[in-house]
Structure 1
Amino acid sequence: MRISVPTIPAAVLASTSPAKTITPAAAVERIASFLAPGNVATVTGAGVSVDSGIRAYRGSKGRYLNPNYKPIFYQELVDSTEKGFAFRQRYWLRSYLGYKPVRNALPNPTHYALAALQYTNVVPRLITQNVDGLHHKALAGVWTEANIREHILELHGTLHKVHCSHGHVVDRDTFQGRLSAANPQWKAYLEGLEATGQRPRTNPDGDVVLEDVDYSTFKVPECPECLLEDRRNSILKPELIFFGESIRKEVRDRSYLDVENCSRLFLVGTTLATYSAFRLLKHALELKKPVLLLNVGPTRADPLPGVEKIELPSGAVLRDVVRTVLGSRAVQDTVVERMLQSGVVRPPNDDE
């Protein structure tokens, strides 16, 4: 079976017409009027995390920002042969170097604006394609972790947990420690990068670009729980969905249910290139739900009737959208007020 990286179809890119010009003030009014009735389901993509320093997959022209992006597919990563082990060496070295910038990233104004809409129940359900956990961080200390999991669905999983092929789960920081212990030379290399403020070019899934590296020198530790069961097992992967891997049925079913139970659908910072997100849009349109898309650049939804699109960065408008929707509560509710004053703006440098 041939597996390819999801992308925006070439026909869509070729037929995309120039976006209609809209001022930020007009965009705020339009988005606010769309959200004001409440019961809105929101789907977010990599674009919402750019201001946190996490690079998006695609740019304003709908093309990959990293021309050397060659992901490892699911079947390659879990292959039990020597060839599969080589793929895991490549994946875990690159992910070892790229994880810390993702782990240390902080929510930006878009995350906090959406968190305020969730906290006030304007957006009861949020579905994110991102694996960085920043939506969770924006609500930490306001909601319990159980409450956050109830209202936020990580469609493609999370980078912050690792599991082996026999189901043993470990938090990512612990696994990073195991990788460091097994690879002291790469630990020293990483510490050297941090000391100089440098970092490799990192993708949203924590994968980095490396040139002229002998991956065979990288040691992938075996699962210690499997060793206790008299089993040697180096097949470990983060709890995220790889290309070629199916989303778990319970996650897929919940994503459909979130769309079915909402009154309207708001899409933010996503090109909808992955079918797991695009089918949620199609489902909403089949159910005659109003749909509004806020994104910069072409998307897979552009040719579809029934999708209203505003082409502006979410960080430029969403704080004011929340203030418009909530009115006096935006200043009277101290939690909302704090959220609307929070957020970093640290987009990645082009030369990283």
Structure 2
Amino acid sequence: MRVSVPSIPHVVLPNRPRIPPAEAIERLTNFLRPTKNVSVLTGAGVSVDSGIRAYRGKDGRYMNPNYQPIFYHELMDRTEKGFKFRQRYWLRSYLGYPPIRDAQPNRTHYAIAALQYSGNVSQLITQNVDALHNKAASSFWSDSEIARHILQLHGTLHRVRCSSGHKVDRETFQEMLSISNPYWKQFVDDMDERGEKPRTNPDGDVALEGVSYDEYKVPSCPECHDEGRGNSAFKPEVVFFGESIPELDRDASFKHVDSSDRLLVIGTTLATYSAFRLVKRALEQRKPVLVLNVGPTRADDLPGLEKIEVPTSLVLREVVRELTGQKAAEDPVLAQLLNSGVYMPPFDYEEYRDESGIEPGEVVTPTTSTVGV
């Protein structure tokens, strides 16, 4: 089986000219103002200010050129070879999940939540598996409302299931891994004590050098054990490379695009076809499409596409204020959303930090309810 990692064609790599933030705010406001029926599509770039690295930098290339993801068929292989892939994946994910779990929504997450709360955006489709959009929306929506208005196109890291379909809460599975691997539990505790965090990818994976995975124990599914069989073929509820998006989610993404009047794309290179085809679908229906992303995208050469290259942290909250007027100050929920969000990009993301002009480290978040992710 030959499966490749999605990439951006070389022909679209040149960037478009940047525009001043004030002009970007005006264009975005004019794009959103004519209708309340807008769908938003987001990608990994939206979560960078929360401390989660994107796969690709401003030039559209992988930040780690040696990045080697595990494919779906490798992870779920029931042979000894597949078990070795699971040892590698679950050790790295065991280390990488806590920073994703503990990350907080940034200004862009809250600005998008404000657009939904104010009725300016009808539906959000996200490729991200960190559930930060859910956290931002949990200050005004219940779990059921979040599920209706936010489609996690590529799944979530916060739930795990075995190959037989038995579900396990991610915290429970983390504890299972800790009990099975006391050395690595101590390793994590020592890192926490030193205030260190591993270099985590958007999928919760981390890069480890010079580590043997042979001794790492992947526990068996308790329910499969009760049924008289062993089964260590666990995976998070994330769509892996080489895996198809569940039909219900695929059809829901089509429905959201079909029923909306226009599509706003934020923080994604659109390298994955599941996202790229939504942009193509909207353009084929002659709907206005605007991409807000720093750097090239797979869709840059599509006719009819409008694009703005400005960091979202500079403009999106001001767009909400322009659209909502006096309500932005008078509505307590909206006011809180527009004054909330962390700005904590990874320490080595100078390219984002330099362009934002904002000092990292600010943490302002509203009180949120416990939300199912």
User: TM-score over 0.5 for the alignment?
Assistant: yes
- Which residue number in structure 2 is paired with residue 275 of structure 1? 273
SS of residue matched to 2:220: coil
Aligned-pair identity in percent equals: 62
Shift of 1:194: 1.3
| Letter of the 2:206 counterpart | V
Is 1:36 equivalent to 2:54 in the alignment? no
Q: TM-score, normalised by structure 1?
A: 0.97
Which of the numbers 24, 45, 54 marks the counterpart of 2:21? 24
- Which residue number in structure 1 is paired with residue 161 of structure 2? 163
* Per-residue CA distance 1:133-188 (angstroms, 9 max, x = gap): 00000011310100000000000000000000111111111100000010000010
| Letter of the 2:151 counterpart | L
Counterparts of 1:109-258 in structure 2, within 5 Å, are: 109-258=107-256
| Letter of the 2:48 counterpart | V
Which of the numbers 317, 320, 323 marks the counterpart of 2:321? 323
SS of residue matched to 2:342: coil
CA contact (8 A) 1:86 1:215 kept: yes
Aligned equivalents of 1:120 and 1:325: distance in 2?
A: 9
| Letter of the 1:28 counterpart | I
| Letter of the 1:144 counterpart | S
Shift of 1:201: 1.4
Aligned equivalents of 2:143 and 2:64: distance in 1?
A: 34
SS of residue matched to 2:61: coil
CA contact (8 A) 2:18 2:310 kept: no
Aligned equivalents of 2:231 and 2:222: distance in 1?
A: 9
Aligned equivalents of 1:115 and 1:240: distance in 2?
A: 23
Deviates more, 1:338-347 or 1:2-11: 2-11
Aligned equivalents of 2:160 and 2:295: distance in 1?
A: 33
- Which residue number in structure 2 is paired with residue 5 of structure 1? 5
| Letter of the 2:106 counterpart | N
CA contact (8 A) 1:33 1:325 kept: no
Q: TM-score, normalised by structure 2?
A: 0.92
CA contact (8 A) 2:123 2:149 kept: yes
Aligned equivalents of 1:275 and 1:21: distance in 2?
A: 26
CA contact (8 A) 2:84 2:213 kept: yes
Shift of 1:191: 1.0
Which of the numbers 276, 295, 298 marks the counterpart of 1:297? 295
Query: Could you list the runs of 4 or more consecutive aligned residues of structure 1 that deviate by over 6 angstroms after TM superposition?
Result: none
Aligned equivalents of 2:42 and 2:304: distance in 1?
A: 19
CA contact (8 A) 1:131 1:154 kept: yes
- Which residue number in structure 1 is paired with residue 69 of structure 2? 71
Which of the numbers 38, 45, 48 marks the counterpart of 2:46? 48
Shift of 1:68: 2.6
| Letter of the 1:165 counterpart | S
Shift of 1:195: 1.2
Shift of 1:348: 0.7
Task: Give the paired residue count.
Answer: 348
- Which residue number in structure 1 is paired with residue 338 of structure 2? 340
| Letter of the 2:66 counterpart | N
- Which residue number in structure 2 is paired with residue 261 of structure 1? 259
- For structure 2, which runs of at least 5 residues remain unmatched after alignment? 350-373
Which of the numbers 343, 348, 351 marks the counterpart of 1:350? 348
* Per-residue CA distance 1:5-52 (angstroms, 9 max, x = gap): 001012322xx2x42231101111110111112211000000000000
| Letter of the 2:170 counterpart | R
| Letter of the 1:276 counterpart | S
Shift of 1:120: 1.5
Shift of 1:67: 2.4
Aligned equivalents of 2:111 and 2:186: distance in 1?
A: 39
CA contact (8 A) 1:162 1:236 kept: yes
- Which residue number in structure 2 is paired with residue 82 of structure 1? 80
| Letter of the 2:175 counterpart | G
| Letter of the 2:190 counterpart | G
SS of residue matched to 1:160: strand
Aligned equivalents of 2:110 and 2:119: distance in 1?
A: 14
Shift of 1:350: 1.8
- For structure 1, which runs of at least 5 residues remain unmatched after alignment? none
SS of residue matched to 2:276: helix
